[in-house]
Every structure is written in structure tokens, then in C-alpha cells.
Amino acid sequence: MLGNFSYCNPTKLYFGEDALDNLSVELAKYGDRVVLVYGSGSIKKNGIYDSVMGILSSLGKDVAEIPDVMPNPTIHKLREGIQTAREHRADFILAVGGGSVVDYAKALSVSIHCEEDPWEKYYARFEEPSCEIVPVGVVLTMTGTGSEMNAGAVITYPEQKLKIGHVFADEAVMPKFSILNPRYTMSLPTYQMAAGIYDIFNHICEQYFSGEDDNTSDYISEGLMRSVIYSSRIAVRNPEDYEARSNIMWTATWALNTLTAKGKSTDWMVHMLGQSVGACGNATHGMTLSAVSLPYYKFIMPYGIKKFARFAANVWGVDAEGKTEEQAAEEGLAAMEGWMKELGLAMNLSEVGVTPDMMEDIVNGTLIMEGGYKVLSKEDVRTVLNRAMAEDM
């Protein structure tokens, strides 16, 4: 492995069907003024809300609620939440939901005591917190983002057509604990489940497709990707298969808790493309990623051909004997495409609502990252997006 790095992950995980039993133990460690953050109300239908509120009540917690956090949380919703949390004098934030709710909670945690506008400080200038950070805990109900064990928070500014993620360097932003019960994910519609599965897979790809050294992180990534592929096929056939759903949930956490990024420069251009699409059209995150992935990987494959050939062999089982690296790599991407279609993922931008008149905004809103096999120009971004618009790639 090349480079120098440090690794610390302070988030405590409770995993399994009885994971919620540990919530009271963790909440007792923090102050009495709790802000409960959740989404559109599904947790009230499936009983999770009542269970969590029962625990909060038994501990005598004073609770203020921030409901209706949207799938792509906006800066306006964040500002609204800051006001609620300040008025409540929040000691602790409890996020109950999927990745968007958890991202929102972390963005809120660094903004409550911040005197500056959070968008300007954290998402325009990418500065670190210089104020008190309110601790966050998580009860996870949807897998995909890995937000339950990292310091990332993605926020959208609709009027500017920007969707930006900030991965904070301060470990205090990371959730203090996360409750992971695979049963909580089983009420998701198949479309959302598939989107989450692809988000997991692409998180791994974003770290994998960088560097050329013999890196332990790549071996870990290949195993995680094989697990996602295997479990996803079972889950699509039977969404209530506990073993498959539990493996997907666990893999999602390890896909983006920075472990597999160690020693890697990392790419992240698929996410930059997909997030720009999401900012312009508010489409489901995992589907925006699937819509741009293959055009992007085909575009950069010549610059990282050895890794793409390895990906084909070690992840997709492609027999490279008698084939050039290019032939093997192409066969690997073809196998990936077949799997994506099995899951029912969006395979082009038109499927996620993108129209040609939106293209310039998406191009202009795409941040350029430098860790992958090719640093894209704006014209390269336009080329990839135009290919992603085509029905037949």
C-alpha cells in the first residue's frame, strides 16, 4: 500500500433484530433536550416512531420534532431545522430514517451553534466547524448511503441547482451510535431498495477505481462487491429474506465508513455527475448514479485498463485466458450492465427525468474530482452526460 494515513471510526454500531433495545442505554449518556429528525412519516406507519418515542418518554427526554425531511434535503429545510433546534436548546439529535435524514442531522449538528450561513461556510467554502457540534445518534430504516458511520452530509440548494456533499474532518460530526435492524428496511418499495443497493455498490467502485498499487483496500472492496451482487439477487426475488437484507445493510455501512478508502486516492466522479443530476431534477440518488455509471466507466476505462480487467476477473468471474485486457474489461462492464438491468435500475438519464434543456445546468453543476484515472474537463463531462442520455449505450 502506498501513502500515509490514519484511521479512526468512533461510531458504535448495534446490529440485528434486537438492536433497538440498546437505544435507551445510549440516550441516557446525553442531555435531556432531544431533537427527533425523520422523513415523510413512514416511521409512523410501521411503528418505529412509537417505539422510539416510547424509549424517549421512559427516559424523561424533552423532545422537539423536525419531520418531513425530504430525500434530497435542502438548505431551506436545514435553516428551518436550525431555528427549531436553537429554540429547543438541543443537547442531542436523534435521526430516525434513511441516509437523507442522517445527512440532514449531521448538517444540523454543525449548524445549530454556527453564526455563519451553513451553505456558505460548509458547502461553498468547505470549511470545518468552528463552533460546538451537537452529538447525533441514528436509528437506520433504509440502507445505501453509509451515512450511519461516516461524517458526510449532502445538502441541495434548488435555486442554484447544486447538490453538494461535505465530508467533515472532525470526528465529532460522526454519529455517536447507530441502530441497525435489517427488519426496518423491509417495508421499502423495490425501486427504493434497488436504488440503495446500487448506491452501496457504487460507493465501493468510487474508491476501488483509483491507484495501481497492490492495495489491501482493493481486496476488501472486491469481497464487498461480490457480497452485494449475491445478496441483491436474492433480495430482488424475495425482499423479506432476512439474511440477504442483513448482508446488504452491513455491506452498506462498510462501503462508506472510509475503511476501503485507506491508501487510495479515490475517484467520486460518478457521484459528482449523479448529484448534479439530482440537483436539477430531484431524482432518486441511486438511480442517478446508475444512469451515468456505465458511460463514465467506459469513458475512463482506457486510462485504468489494468484495474478494469482485474474488476472483471475478481468481481464478475470473467475468464481472461486468451483475451486482451481490453476485452476482459469490456466483458466485466457488460456483466455489470446485465446485473444492473436485473435490479431494474435506471440505465440512462431520460429514465430519471432529464431532458436536453437541463444538460448545461447539469454540466455546470458537476464538481471535478482529481483522484480517478482521468481528470475530466467540462467537455469530457458533457460527453459522458450526452452518452448517458442515449437509449442504447
Supply the pLDDT for residue 201.
Answer: 98
205 and 128 both lie in a single domain: no
Buried b (16+ CB within 10 A) or exposed e, 36-62: bbbbeebbeeeebbeebbebbeeeebe
For 152, the domain range is: 12-184
C-beta separation of 129 from 114 below 8 A: yes
Please tell me the predicted confidence (pLDDT) of residue 75: 98
Per-residue confidence at 391, pLDDT binned at 50, 70, 90? low
Closest CA to 166 of 201, 135, 124, 138: 124
Taking the C-alpha atoms of residue 157 and residue 31, their distance in angstroms, rounded to an integer, is 32
Distance CA 71, CA 288 (A): 13
Instruction: Flag whether 5 is in a domain.
Output: no
Structural domain contains residue 105: yes
Task: State the pLDDT at residue 2.
Answer: 86
294-349 pLDDT, tens digit per residue, is: 999 999 999 999 999 999 999 999 999 999 999 999 999 999 999 999 999 999 99
Per-position b or e across 317-336, b if 16+ CB within 10 A of its CB: ebebeeeebeebbbbbbebb
Does 4 map to a domain? no
Do both 196 and 329 map to the same domain?
A: yes
Please check whether residue 95 is in contact with residue 137, taking contact to mean a CB–CB distance below 8 angstroms.
Answer: yes
Confidence bin at 393 (pLDDT 50/70/90): very low
What integer pLDDT is reported at residue 83 of this predicted model? 98
Whole-angstrom distance, CA of residue 137 vs CA of residue 127 = 23
Nine cell digits for residue 115 = 453564526
Give pTM, 2 decimals: 0.95
C-alpha span between 71 and 185 (Å, rounded): 16
d(CA 241, CA 234): 7
| In-domain check, residue 2 | no
What stretches of the chain adopt beta strand conformation (E)? Answer: 12-15, 33-38, 62-66, 92-97, 136-140, 152-157, 162-167, 177-180
Instruction: Give the end of a domain, one of 131, 164, 184.
Output: 184
**Of 5, 26, 11, nearest to 253 (Cα)?**
11
Alpha-carbon radius of gyration of the chain: 20
Q: Are residues 32 and 117 in the same domain?
A: yes
Q: Are residues 111 and 215 in the same domain?
A: no
Q: Are residues 43 and 180 in the same domain?
A: yes
Report if residue 163 sits inside a domain: yes
* Phi/psi of residue 36, nearest 5 degrees: -95, 120
366, 246: one domain = yes
Among residues 126, 155, 184, the one where a domain terminates is: 184
Quick one: average pLDDT of 19-25?
Answer: 98
Q: Supply the DSSP symbol for 111.
A: T
| 163 three-state secondary structure | strand
Is 377 domain-assigned?
Answer: yes
CB 188 within 8 A of CB 145: no
- Asked if residue 1 belongs to a domain, the reply is no
Give me the mean pLDDT over the 110-138 stretch: 97
Residue 338 shares a structural domain with residue 364:
yes
pLDDT digits (tens, 9 = 90+) for 364-386: 999 999 999 999 999 999 999 99
CA–CA distance, 193 with 187 (Å, rounded to integer): 9
With CA atoms as reference, report the closest residue to 138 among 107, 180, 89, 85: 180
3-state helix, strand, coil in the chain (%, to 5): 55, 10, 35
130 and 227 both lie in a single domain: no
293/171 same-domain check: no
Give the 3-state secondary structure of 304-325: HHHHHHHHHHHHHCCCCCCCCH
CA angle 271, 298, 197 (to 5 degrees): 45
Statement to judge: residues 173 and 199 lie in one domain = no
The answer to whether the beta carbons of residues 97 and 141 sit under 8 Å apart is yes
pLDDT of 177 strictly over 50 = yes
Last residue of a domain, one of 184, 209, 243: 184
The reply to whether 7 falls in a domain is no
pLDDT tens, 63-119?
999 999 999 999 999 999 999 999 999 999 999 999 999 999 999 999 999 999 999
SS3 (DSSP) at 157: strand
How many domains does the structure of the chain reveal? 2
Give the domain CATH number at 95.
3.40.50.1970
Do residue 153 and residue 301 come from a single domain? no
pLDDT grade for 3, boundaries at 50, 70 and 90: confident
Q: Do residues 149 and 203 make contact, with C-beta atoms less than 8 angstroms apart?
A: no
Which CATH number belongs to the domain containing residue 241 in this structure?
Answer: 1.20.1090.10
Based on the fold, state whether residues 212 and 123 are members of the same structural domain: no
User: Burial, 29: exposed, middle or buried (Cβ in 10 Å; 0-12, 13-18, 19+)?
Assistant: exposed
User: Contact, 187 vs 26, CB < 8 A?
Assistant: no
For residue range 250-265, list pLDDT tens digits in order. 999 999 999 999 999 9
